[in-house]
């Protein structure tokens, strides 16, 4: 067979295979299957899209929002507390809280030692807290973190660890104003003092907004405002920080020098009833939370009761003058130096004989006061004391303020009446006593005690005749100026002063201690036109001196003298002399 014929046969064979044979048919079949599959997939995708976009849209949108949108709180900034001249006393500073999602953090346990160092926590403690909270999705690790430490936490970029902005209260004057201002808790809510009584005014209202955040919890975009934030209101107190510092310094020195247990000073503006200073010792620093114990932060000036001793005597004399039975020229016979009232024997250290009403106060005669009290109707005395504010809380609004104790006159007998005339059988607070002296200085107008700044005149309530108060102030000047008077150390160079000492035994085991005392001085200045009233109370001086004239009077002189100069009150003593010598040692006064 020739090559040509072979090759021709082969070519014929190739050309002889029909075009519609088995191979093209199989191809078309396979192509149809693929095309059908594509159609089915497309239909499935369309169906799935319909399901996702229409049927499950609301559910899926909610799930997406839950992963990438959050409702973030906007913390309200607490209002600032200032003194009467705008000096800041309490401010809120930005801090951060560190919180974690323990379930998320469990994937980054190797980062816990680094986190512990950043937040100043022992690694073992951090591991324990996280591991025991795996069923929770929120756990605070630390509150009030300073910005520098918060930045370190942020730079770690640990999954499941988050920061939240907060505010922490800071008190620039620290312990100088601690008892007055009180403090807030970790949530910046008022707990004591002015912070508590004015919490609604200071706190404001938190707001909220919707934000978009990334997978690490970082805010990407603000979406909308849900509730506007309302910042807290500022609060301006009646306190003059300069006088507050002065009172704090002098009281602290007196407590130290007399080795006393505690003490209080209150200074009141006679014209308005504003409290210009209120300090206590021992003090506490509200910036240091380790000091926040009830025994430390109790405001003794408003809450602690004490029997006022002879510092109450001027108000019994006021009742005597108001009754018309006594005048500035009245003479009381105190001889032979004692008087028997029921089962009680009342005595003076010396027989003073027949003495004037001024001498009764200047020498603090217990016998003279007993004669005066017995000459008055109990109702007259009660009306005077009640009108001056004893037995009731002041209008200060300070939380926990005590009302004191003044029983109704229908229960009084001669023994109780004479005991009260020398300061036993009734109890007061330093703030109450200061208000009473301020009322005398205001010539019988009792003005509400205010811890907030008052702008404009304050009318007050008439509780004593102005002439009675002027006469009483003249008598009380003798307590400072009369030779041998008990209040000589309360003198203020350049100013005329009216006041009264007090020394009271402290109650003990149903009776009275013979070696534990309260030392007191209350008064007003300048006498020509009274501007300030002050009360000093020192509890249990134990350095050898305990009379009010020796312990409390010098503090009164230093505080009120400095305060008068600070606020620019001109001197009224045309012949200012040197400070008077210490008072003589006489009966409790």
CA–CA gap between residue 410 and residue 318 (Å, rounded): 20
Q: Return the higher-pLDDT residue of 583 and 26.
A: 26
Q: Return the higher-pLDDT residue of 63 and 6.
A: 63
Q: Is the pLDDT of residue 91 over 90?
A: yes
Instruction: Find the catalytic residue in 310, 365, 450, 557.
Output: 310
Beta bridge partners of 521: 501, 536
CA–CA gap between residue 110 and residue 95 (Å, rounded): 27
- Decide: 579 and 554 in contact? Cβ < 8 Å: no
Residues whose CB is less than 8 angstroms from the CB of residue 382 and which lie 6 or more positions away in sequence, other chains included: 406, 408, 409, 412
**H or E stretch including 373?**
helix 366-374
* CA-closest candidate to residue 587, choices 476, 489, 486, 481: 486
Q: What digits encode the pLDDT tens for the residues 413-436?
A: 999 999 999 999 999 999 999 999
CA–CA gap between residue 130 and residue 258 (Å, rounded): 53
- Decide: 587 and 505 in contact? Cβ < 8 Å: no
Residues whose CB is less than 8 angstroms from the CB of residue 134 and which lie 6 or more positions away in sequence, other chains included: 102, 103, 106
CA–CA gap between residue 47 and residue 60 (Å, rounded): 16
Q: Is the pLDDT of residue 46 over 80?
A: no
- Decide: 539 and 505 in contact? Cβ < 8 Å: no
Q: What digits encode the pLDDT tens for the residues 449-469?
A: 999 999 988 989 999 999 999
* pLDDT at residue 157, as a whole number: 86
- Decide: 371 and 409 in contact? Cβ < 8 Å: no
CA–CA gap between residue 326 and residue 248 (Å, rounded): 40
Beta bridge partners of 449: none
Residues whose CB is less than 8 angstroms from the CB of residue 589 and which lie 6 or more positions away in sequence, other chains included: 309, 310, 363, 364, 486, 501, 502, 503, 547, 548, 549
- Decide: 540 and 260 in contact? Cβ < 8 Å: yes
Q: What digits encode the pLDDT tens for the residues 163-212?
A: 888 888 999 999 999 999 999 998 889 999 999 999 999 998 877 666 66
- Residue 518, SS3? strand
Ordered structural domains, the chain, with CATH: 71-209+225-236 (3.90.1310.10), 241-285+299-566 (3.40.710.10)
Lowest mean pLDDT across 189-193, 254-258, 293-297, 494-498: 293-297
- Decide: 83 and 239 in contact? Cβ < 8 Å: yes
CA–CA gap between residue 390 and residue 394 (Å, rounded): 9
Q: Is the pLDDT of residue 9 over 50?
A: no
- Decide: 129 and 102 in contact? Cβ < 8 Å: no
* pLDDT at residue 457, as a whole number: 85
Beta bridge partners of 501: 521
* CA-closest candidate to residue 532, choices 491, 573, 558, 561: 561
CA–CA gap between residue 144 and residue 150 (Å, rounded): 9
pTM for this structure?
0.82
- Residue 553, SS3? helix
pLDDT tier for residue 39 given thresholds of 50, 70 and 90: confident
Cα 65–chain centre separation: 43
Cα 516–chain centre separation: 30
| Residue 310 falls in the annotated catalytic set | yes
CA–CA gap between residue 346 and residue 367 (Å, rounded): 6
Give the CB-side neighbour count of residue 488, counting CA atoms within 13 A: 15
- Decide: 458 and 272 in contact? Cβ < 8 Å: yes
Two structure tokens written together for 369: 């006061």
* pLDDT at residue 4, as a whole number: 45
Cα 447–chain centre separation: 23
């Amino acid at each position: 067979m020739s090559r040509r014929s072979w090759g021709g046969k082969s070519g014929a064979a190739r050309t002889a295979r029909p075009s519609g044979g088995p191979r093209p048919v199989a191809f078309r079949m396979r192509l149809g299957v693929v095309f059908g599959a594509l159609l089915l997939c497309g239909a499935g995708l369309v169906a799935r899209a319909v399901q996702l976009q229409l049927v499950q849209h609301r559910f899926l949108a909610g799930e997406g929002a839950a992963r990438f949108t959050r409702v973030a709180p906007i913390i309200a900034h607490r209002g600032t507390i200032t003194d009467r001249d705008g000096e800041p006393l309490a401010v809120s500073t930005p801090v951060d809280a560190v919180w974690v999602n323990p379930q998320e953090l469990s994937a980054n346990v190797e980062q816990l030692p680094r986190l512990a160092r950043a937040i100043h926590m022992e690694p073992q403690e951090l591991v324990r807290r996280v591991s025991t909270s795996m069923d929770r999705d929120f756990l605070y690790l630390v509150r009030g973190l300073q910005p520098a430490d918060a930045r370190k936490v942020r730079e770690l970029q640990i999954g499941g660890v988050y920061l939240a902005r907060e505010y922490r209260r800071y008190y620039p004057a620290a312990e100088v104003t601690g008892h007055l201002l009180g403090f807030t808790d970790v949530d910046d809510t008022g707990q004591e003092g002015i912070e508590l009584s004015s919490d609604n005014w200071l706190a404001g209202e938190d707001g909220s907004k919707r934000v978009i955040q990334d997978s690490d919890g970082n805010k990407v975009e603000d979406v909308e405002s849900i509730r506007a934030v309302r910042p807290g209101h500022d609060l301006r107190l009646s306190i003059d920080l300069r006088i507050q510092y002065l009172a704090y310094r002098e009281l602290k020195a007196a407590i130290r020098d007399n080795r006393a247990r505690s003490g209080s000073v209150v200074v009141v503006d006679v014209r308005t009833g504003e409290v210009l200073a209120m300090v206590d010792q021992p003090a506490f620093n509200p910036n240091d939370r380790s000091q926040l114990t009830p025994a430390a932060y109790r405001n003794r000036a408003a809450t602690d009761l004490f029997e006022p001793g002879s510092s109450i005597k001027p108000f019994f004399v006021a009742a005597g003058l108001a009754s018309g039975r006594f005048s500035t020229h009245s003479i009381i016979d105190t001889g032979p130096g004692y008087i028997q009232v029921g089962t009680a024997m009342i005595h003076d250290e010396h027989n003073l004989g027949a003495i004037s009403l001024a001498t009764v106060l200047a020498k603090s005669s217990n016998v003279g006061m007993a004669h005066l009290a017995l000459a008055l109707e109990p109702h007259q005395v009660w009306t005077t004391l009640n009108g001056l504010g004893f037995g009731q809380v002041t209008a200060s609004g300070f939380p926990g303020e005590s009302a004191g104790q003044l029983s109704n006159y229908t229960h009084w007998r001669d023994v109780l009446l004479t005991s009260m005339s020398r300061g036993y059988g009734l109890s007061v607070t330093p703030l109450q006593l200061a208000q009473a002296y301020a009322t005398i200085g205001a010539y019988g107008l009792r003005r509400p005690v205010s811890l907030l700044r008052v702008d404009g005149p304050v009318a007050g309530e008439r509780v004593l005749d102005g002439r009675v108060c002027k006469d009483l102030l003249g008598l009380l000047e003798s307590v400072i100026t009369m030779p041998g008077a008990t209040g000589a150390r309360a003198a203020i160079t350049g100013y005329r002063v009216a006041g009264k000492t007090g020394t009271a035994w402290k109650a003990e085991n149903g009776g009275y201690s013979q070696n534990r005392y309260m030392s007191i001085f209350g008064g007003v200045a300048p006498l020509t036109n009274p501007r300030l009233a002050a009360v000093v109370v020192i509890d249990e001086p134990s350095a050898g001196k305990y009379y009010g004239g020796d312990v409390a009077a010098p503090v009164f002189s230093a505080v009120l003298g400095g305060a008068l100069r600070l606020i620019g009150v001109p001197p009224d003593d045309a012949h200012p002399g040197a400070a008077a010598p210490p008072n003589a040692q006489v009966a409790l006064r």
